[in-house]
């Protein structure tokens, strides 16, 4: 018997009809002889609506009460889903995060899972029940309060359950057919990725791909959970996200994911897993660039600047330092960070300008970032040349460049980022023959 964890996002359980459809799917999985644990998100836009309501009654809502409020969304969907399954004649039991043993730290609004003790879930499974767990929520032992895991946290709930229960597969159901080589709303010819390593997925998620949340991918990678991201609107095989280890090779993981997944697999799909050069391209418009102008070119200045930045808690991304002009003995340092943190960091730097001794600050929130990701880069030369050539031919100027072993990122003007995405996608041969189908609206 296999144990399958399934996660259904808000768009898959948006109304009564959808809940009944999902209930049928879950029952089919059970009937095929599997144990089934389901993590479910709040219906449709419930979480956003609750957030809006909170801000109407309180300008700065208290974090503890906010988590009480937001966790209610998943309570509604979990109970409705259990009711729908029961009415199909199957035993189903819903559990809140704390009942399911999701133990987190105490950080309201973005709590981290520190332990999972799914005793009650195991008991319910042993009694033959289908288990439904409220996504996105947990419990802190010290404060004895309910916590939430941050937006999109149900993915993390599902992965954590899969790890704790030693599931064979964690299926993430969404409203698109899987993970694409680029956002299909911008690149209609984006191709569905059949399989991708968790390392590559992590880079795509960290650089703006929104299908999977970064924390969930991190958790899956660390605990060796294989994910299958697929549509809840059809039976097609989606994207398998795997972490090849020393003990289990990629082909075995992919075959195992397929065996448990009850899909329409394309005929003749090859069994050998060969790494493509490029996995995908992601873009991000949520960042801004700060340039610290005229920094004295002596040891310790970068340390001073980034200590100030670190104190604000801001998450900085790319850093570039120019060569100093010999005549002035000064240099410029630029870095990118989320726009939401821009003003705080500017204020912190300005406060210590005299002490650090730089000449000025520039703030630019009209940048776009493009990241090309692929494990094949490790062993292939010429990837950067091809990327820069594609951008040059489209007349797009590159403002910053940074690389990791499996990623090349560039910053361009925000208004050229979609063109950049399309030309790079084409240049690396990622265009599909057909136009991708986008079922729902949000990709969640």
**Which H helix or E strand runs over 425?**
helix 417-427
CB of 433 to ligand ASP, least distance (A): 33
Q: Please, which residue, 75 or 386, has the CB nearer to Mg ion? A: 75
Let me know: does 243 contact 199? Beta carbons within 8 Å: yes
Single out the residue of 5, 27, 42, 169 in contact with ligand ASP (rule: CB under 6 A).
Answer: 42
CB of 48 to ligand ASP, least distance (A): 7
- How far is it, in rounded angstroms, from Cα 160 to Cα 138? 11
Residue 351: phi, psi to the nearest 5? -60, -30
Helices (H) and strands (E) in the chain, counts: 13, 20
Spell out, one character per residue from 402 to 421, where the chain touches ligand ASP: x when CB under 6 A holds, - when not.
Answer: --------------------
210 binds ligand ASP (CB under 6 A): no
Span interacting with ligand ASP, options 39-47, 181-189, 377-385, 423-431, rule CB under 6 A: 39-47
| 374, interface contact from Mg ion, ligand ASP, none, CB < 5-8 Å by kind | none
| 104, interface contact from Mg ion, ligand ASP, none, CB < 5-8 Å by kind | none
**Which H helix or E strand runs over 65?**
helix 63-86
CB of 13 to ligand ASP, least distance (A): 10
178 binds ligand ASP (CB under 6 A): no
| 153, interface contact from Mg ion, ligand ASP, none, CB < 5-8 Å by kind | ligand ASP
Q: Please tell me whether residue 335 adopts helix, strand or coil conformation.
A: strand
Q: Please, which residue, 10 or 280, has the CB nearer to ligand ASP? A: 10
How many angstroms separate the Cα of 181 from the Cα of each of 168, 201, 239, 385, 396?
Answer: 26, 11, 11, 20, 21
Q: Please, which residue, 7 or 25, has the CB nearer to ligand ASP? A: 7
152 binds ligand ASP (CB under 6 A): yes
Residues that bind ligand ASP (rule: CB under 6 A) add up to a total of: 12
44 binds ligand ASP (CB under 6 A): no
Output the residue with the shortest Cβ distance to ligand ASP: 154
97 binds ligand ASP (CB under 6 A): no
Within 13 A of 82's CA, how many CA atoms are on the CB side? 20
261 binds ligand ASP (CB under 6 A): no
Q: Enumerate residues 6+ apart whose C-beta is below 8 A from 34.
A: 1, 2, 3, 4, 260
Cα angle for residues 216, 402, 376 (degrees, 5° grid): 65
Q: Which of 360, 307, 304, 363 is nearest to 330 (CA)?
A: 360
Chain residues binding ligand ASP by CB under 6 A are 9-10, 41-42, 47, 73, 135-136, 151-154
């Amino acid at each position: 018997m296999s144990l399958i964890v399934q996660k259904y996002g808000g768009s898959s359980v948006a109304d009564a009809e959808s809940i009944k459809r999902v209930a049928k799917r879950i029952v089919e999985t059970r009937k095929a002889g599997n144990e089934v644990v389901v993590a479910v998100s709040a219906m449709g836009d419930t979480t956003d609506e609750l957030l809006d309501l909170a801000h109407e009654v309180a300008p700065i809502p208290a974090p503890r009460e906010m988590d009480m409020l937001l966790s209610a969304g998943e309570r509604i969907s979990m109970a409705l889903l259990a009711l729908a399954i029961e009415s199909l004649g199957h035993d189903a039991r819903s559990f809140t995060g704390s009942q399911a043993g999701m133990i987190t730290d105490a950080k309201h609004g973005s709590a981290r899972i520190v332990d999972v003790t799914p005793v009650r879930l195991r008991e319910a499974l042993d009694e033959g029940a289908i288990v439904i767990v409220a996504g996105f929520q947990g419990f802190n032992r010290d404060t004895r309060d309910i916590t939430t895991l941050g937006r999109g946290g149900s993915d993390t709930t599902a992965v954590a359950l899969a790890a704790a229960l030693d599931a064979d597969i964690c299926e993430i159901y969404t409203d698109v057919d899987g993970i694409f080589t680029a956002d299909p709303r911008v690149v209609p010819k984006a191709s569905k990725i059949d399989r991708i390593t968790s390392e590559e997925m992590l880079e795509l998620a960290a650089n703006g791909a929104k299908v999977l949340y970064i924390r969930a991918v991190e958790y899956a990678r660390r605990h060796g959970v294989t994910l299958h991201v697929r549509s809840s609107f059809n039976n097609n095989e989606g994207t398998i996200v795997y972490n090849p280890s020393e003990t289990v090779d990629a082909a075995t993981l992919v075959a195992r994911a397929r065996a448990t997944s009850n899909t329409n697999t394309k005929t003749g799909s090859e069994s050998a897993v060969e790494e493509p050069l490029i996995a995908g391209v992601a873009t991000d418009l949520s960042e801004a660039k700060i340039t610290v102008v005229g920094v004295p070119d002596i040891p310790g200045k970068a340390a001073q600047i980034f200590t100030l930045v670190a104190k604000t808690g801001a998450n900085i991304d790319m850093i570039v330092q120019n060569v100093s002009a010999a005549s002035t003995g000064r240099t410029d340092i630029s870095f990118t960070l989320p726009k939401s943190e821009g003003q705080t960091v500017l204020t912190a730097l300005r406060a210590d300008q005299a002490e650090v001794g730089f000449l000025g600050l520039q703030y630019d929130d009209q940048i776009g970032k493009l990241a090309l990701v692929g494990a094949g880069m490790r062993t292939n030369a010429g990837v950067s040349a091809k990327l820069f050539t594609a951008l040059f031919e489209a007349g797009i100027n590159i403002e910053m460049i940074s690389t990791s072993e499996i990623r090349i990122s560039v910053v361009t003007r925000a208004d050229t980022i979609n063109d950049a995405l399309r030309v790079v996608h084409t240049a690396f041969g990622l265009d599909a023959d057909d136009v991708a189908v986008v079922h729902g609206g949000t990709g969640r």
